[in-house]
Amino acid sequence: MEEIQEHPSQSIGKDDEDDIVKEQSADEHGDPLQHGNLLPKVDSAVEILQEKVTKQVVKEGHGQKPSKYATCFLHYRAWTESTQHKFEDTWHEQRPFEMVLGKEKKEMAGLAVGVSSMKAGERALLHVGWELGYGKEGSFSFPNVPPMANIIYEVELIGFDEVKEIIFALSDLIANMMNLHGGCILQGKSRGDMTAEERIGTADRRKMDGNSLFKDEKLEEAMQQYEMAIAYLGDDFMFQLFGKYRDMALAVKNPCHLNMAACLIKLKRHEEAIAQCTITCLAPQKGFNILASSYNRLLISAFVFAVLAEDENNAKALFRRGKARAELGQTDAAREDFVKARKHAPEDKAITRELRLLDEHDKAVYKKQKEIYKGIFGPPPQPKPANVLNRIWEWLILIYQWLLALIYRLFKRERHKAD
């Protein structure tokens, strides 16, 4: 089910070929990335890739390594080795970096050497000499890198697209013939060179691959596919789309964010799941986009963020954000999401179940608080049974005192008249 409004009878908590909604928690936990400015500590062996490039594996990857001209999607942080000053961080910007191996910028040569040795999902620490970095002069604009600065990269290869077509470039072919090398040149195709249909189609294939991995409980690998799909449909690209092309792109992008949220919930990374859901709810209208990098990781931190930015009434996004908020103890915010989701899917049993669980949770919390206060202040004092005879004597004494006071006043008044 891609759109909940078109299928009101289908439960939000059920699976779908294109939009997977398995909500139960997984025993495994994700390996959250570090978000500080300090270099990570790595104990693995040092691998020499080239004379000026070494690598230490932080997390093992899977599958094959990218070949030349493959389009790679990665996140990285970069520090200068001498001062350990961090000058670049794509994780902070929430946008994967795209690199076509063999066609990278000169200052990225060392990084490309490291990436070409990695597998999808692998995270590694690279030490790159200044000769394969920003060179003898450094960079005085952005990023600001001192001259002759060795660089340390923390890199995660999200995934890559291998070359799928052979292009006969005439100039390259002539050059090869002059060097007595016959044949053709393989060329990669970056996102910027693709048509809108090609980018949407490539993203859709990544989404389907992610769905298959999700069904096999390969959550980390599934998220890599979803993130690569989203990378093809970035904010700059979406801003240029109108009409049917925008609808086609959203039909791919929104389920990717929601499925990312489902993976993160299963991995118990609830703050990140909230962010993935909220992106879908916050965008005002066509032509405007809310950047995912602006959210607060502690409160609105996983992939429903993306869906709500485009459609603030997306019931699935509201439902999953509510689940993540409930897991974080944000019960009032979670109830607000569930109530809003129920307005758009009133027959959905999963929403009703979550609201009932919240009510039960609130009752349990109230009962526990009541017991705590009772233990602190103790039971209220119980009134002692009254003695009827004592009470009668007390009243008689009060009446006697009142009569004496009245007689004294009358006597005093009569005496005053006589005088």
Q: Are residues 345 and 358 in the same domain?
A: yes
Q: Are residues 100 and 231 in the same domain?
A: no
Q: What does pTM read for this prediction?
A: 0.51
DSSP 8-state assignment for residue 118: -
Q: Are residues 242 and 350 in the same domain?
A: yes
Q: Which of 45-49, 176-180, 322-326 has the highest mean pLDDT?
A: 45-49
Chain segment 262-312, per-residue pLDDT in tens: 888 888 887 777 777 766 554 433 333 333 333 333 333 345 555 666 667
Q: Are residues 157 and 249 in the same domain?
A: no
| Maximal CA-CA distance, the chain | 151
In a domain, 382, yes or no: no
Question: Would you state the pLDDT for residue 258?
Answer: 86
Share of the chain above pLDDT 70, in %: 73
Q: Determine the average pLDDT of the residues in 10-31.
A: 43
| CA-atom Rg of the chain in angstroms | 34
Q: Name 345's Cβ contacts closer than 8 Å, sequence gap at least 6.
A: 4, 8, 12, 315, 351
Q: Are residues 210 and 356 in the same domain?
A: yes
Number of structural domains in the chain: 3
Q: Are residues 212 and 353 in the same domain?
A: yes
Q: Are residues 170 and 202 in the same domain?
A: no
Domain that holds residue 137: 47-161
Q: Are residues 273 and 291 in the same domain?
A: yes
Q: Determine the average pLDDT of the residues in 333-346.
A: 87
Chain segment 358-367, per-residue pLDDT in tens: 888 888 888 8
Q: Are residues 167 and 266 in the same domain?
A: no
Residues written for the chain: 419
Mean pLDDT estimate for the chain:
76
Q: Determine the average pLDDT of the residues in 41-47.
A: 90
Chain segment 247-268, per-residue pLDDT in tens: 898 889 888 888 888 888 888 8
Q: Are residues 309 and 244 in the same domain?
A: yes
* The token pair that represents 117 in the structure block: 């040795």
In a domain, 372, yes or no: no
Residue of higher predicted confidence among 114 and 298: 114
CATH number of the structural domain spanning residue 205: 1.25.40.10
Question: Has residue 160 got a pLDDT over 80?
Answer: yes
Across 46-60, 342-356, 367-381, 391-405, least confident range: 367-381
Q: Among the three residues 322, 341, 364, which one is the final residue of a domain in this structure?
A: 364
DSSP 8-state assignment for residue 297: T
Q: Are residues 106 and 242 in the same domain?
A: no
Q: Are residues 109 and 125 in the same domain?
A: yes
In a domain, 316, yes or no: yes
